[in-house]
């Protein structure tokens, strides 16, 4: 390596890939993670949860990779996500659960998308949609077993069952599932998990007494799939683990769970310059160089999902060494202090990835920003292109 003063003398490198930054998605990892979750799920089927653009990884390619790995259902929050999956040719069972009266219920029913209902209005919306679509609406009734978010509270469960029974008797809907969601699945051993299982069983019992025979019962997310077999029932809904991240990072890193992180976020330095000691860096000068050093400019900022809360703390792999964001993360860019390392514009910086080259993980960014890895990957912005590798070394855009 040359001496530090040569830093600016090397011409910028030309690269095949023009992208200043990219999120590389390893579809083989998603396929393998799906297979691993299928093992963990035992006799339960696996739903690949690909809401929010596949947790930022790209919804359709990730859904396909998960189905190739053994998932048999796809889950999303919103109806338009489900419709986009069908339009892309995904033919598996699809469940959407965060629905509003103004959604396109008729198109969803026509497309065979299964829909969550937690209120009588949703049963009525499915009934009307069935009349338009000419086929019954497929419903999963949701009970709030304690999360205190969506779902019918136990006091309203009977009324929901009665409205669904009437709609079923008229042939306009079929109740195919009963489901709920856990509050403490990521705290192994928390007593609330088993209390929720108990309330779930009670809700199912009451449905059966009402004359329903739901085909699929489901309660588990990623953490419960990996740690709480008593929550598996017929189907597990796995999101984060499918993308290779640990839902319980304080307890287990991804490799310990047999998972491989699928996203690698990289950027190319756009400028490199030598500055003297005592130089303030970025807005507010929250960082000062301690001696003469080399600063690299990274073209990713909070508009791209790099958390501003990671100012001064976000970890990186820069020209072979772990570094930290220097000073404030801006909208489009941040600075890294490269010391005396030799670098040039065009050199690649890795923000996070599976760790093969010593780069940080999404979980390290979560810790640096005081959040969870879910938020790190889902917030990678639309300005960052996703590129896909199928694992055979091929790369598609």
Ligand X SMILES: *Cc1c(COP(=O)(O)O)cnc(C)c1O
SS3 127: helix
Nearer of residues 4 and 150 to ligand X, judged by Cβ: 150
- Measured from the Cβ of residue 256, the count of other Cβ atoms closer than 10 Å reads 10
Site residues for ligand X, 277-336, by CB under 6 A, read none
Nearer of residues 55 and 388 to ligand X, judged by Cβ: 55
Q: What is the x/- site pattern for ligand X, positions 69-98, by CB under 6 A?
A: ----------------------------x-
Shortest reach from residue 347's CB to ligand X, in Å: 34
Site residues for ligand X, 47-66, by CB under 6 A, read 49, 51
Contact 219, 197 (CB under 8 A): yes
209 catalytic, yes or no? no
Nearer of residues 127 and 222 to ligand X, judged by Cβ: 222
**Run of H or E including 137:** strand 137-142
Applying CB under 6 A, which of residues 27, 141, 240, 263 lies at the interface with ligand X?
240
Nearer of residues 219 and 336 to ligand X, judged by Cβ: 219
| Nearest Cα residue to 181 out of 245, 215, 224, 122 | 224
Q: Which residue is nearest to ligand X (CB)?
A: 239
Beta strand pairing call for 287-288 and 293-298? unpaired
| Nearest Cα residue to 362 out of 270, 275, 265, 287 | 265
Shortest reach from residue 38's CB to ligand X, in Å: 14
51 catalytic, yes or no? yes
Shortest reach from residue 51's CB to ligand X, in Å: 6
Q: Which of 51, 55, 374, 388 is catalytic?
A: 51
| Nearest Cα residue to 304 out of 294, 318, 317, 314 | 314
- Characterize 303-325 residue by residue with b for buried, 16 or more Cβ atoms within 10 angstroms of its Cβ, and e for exposed: ebbbbeebbbbbbbbbbeeebbb
Site residues for ligand X, 216-235, by CB under 6 A, read 221-222
Sign of CA dihedral 378, 380, 383, 389: negative
Applying CB under 6 A, which of residues 247, 254, 296, 307 lies at the interface with ligand X?
247
Q: Which of 55, 142, 273, 283 is catalytic?
A: 283
SS3 165: helix
Q: Which residues bind ligand X (CB under 6 A)?
A: 49, 51, 97, 181, 221-222, 237-241, 247
* Catalytic sites, residue numbers: 51, 283
């Amino acid at each position: 390596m040359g001496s530090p003063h040569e830093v600016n003398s090397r011409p910028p490198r030309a690269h095949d890939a023009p992208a200043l930054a990219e999120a590389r998605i390893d579809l083989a990892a998603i396929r393998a993670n799906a297979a691993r979750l299928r093992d963990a799920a035992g006799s339960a089927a696996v739903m690949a949860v690909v809401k929010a653009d596949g947790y930022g990884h790209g919804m359709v390619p990730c859904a396909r990779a998960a189905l190739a790995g053994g998932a048999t259902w796809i889950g999303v929050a919103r109806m338009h996500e489900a419709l986009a999956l069908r339009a892309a040719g995904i033919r598996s069972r699809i469940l959407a659960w965060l629905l509003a009266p103004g959604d396109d219920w008729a198109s969803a029913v026509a497309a065979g998308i299964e829909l969550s209902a937690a209120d009588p209005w949703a049963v009525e919306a499915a009934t009307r949609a069935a009349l338009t679509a000419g086929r019954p609406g497929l419903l999963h009734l949701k009970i709030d077993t304690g999360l205190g978010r969506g779902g019918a509270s136990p006091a309203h469960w009977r009324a929901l069952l009665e409205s669904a029974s009437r709609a079923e008797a008229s042939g306009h809907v079929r109740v195919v599932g009963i489901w709920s969601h856990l509050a403490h699945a990521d705290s192994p051993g928390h007593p609330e998990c088993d209390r929720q299982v108990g309330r779930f069983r009670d809700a199912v019992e009451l449905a059966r007494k009402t004359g329903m025979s739901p085909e699929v019962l489901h309660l588990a997310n990623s953490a419960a799939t990996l740690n709480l077999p008593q929550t598996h029932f017929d189907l597990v809904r796995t999101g984060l683990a499918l993308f290779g991240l640990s839902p319980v990072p304080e307890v287990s890193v991804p490799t310990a769970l047999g998972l491989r992180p699928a996203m690698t976020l990289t950027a190319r330095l756009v400028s490199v310059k030598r500055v003297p000691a005592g130089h303030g860096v970025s807005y507010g000068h929250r960082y000062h160089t301690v001696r003469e050093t080399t600063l690299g400019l990274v073209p990713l900022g909070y508009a791209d999902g790099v958390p501003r809360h990671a100012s001064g703390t976000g970890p990186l792999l820069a020209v072979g060494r772990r570094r930290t964001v220097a000073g404030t993360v801006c909208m489009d860019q941040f600075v890294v202090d490269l010391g005396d390392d030799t670098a040039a514009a065009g050199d690649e910086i890795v923000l996070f990835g599976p760790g093969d080259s010593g780069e940080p993980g999404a979980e390290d960014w979560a810790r640096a920003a005081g959040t969870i890895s879910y938020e790190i990957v889902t917030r990678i912005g639309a300005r960052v292109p996703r590129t896909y590798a199928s694992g055979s070394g091929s790369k598609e855009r």
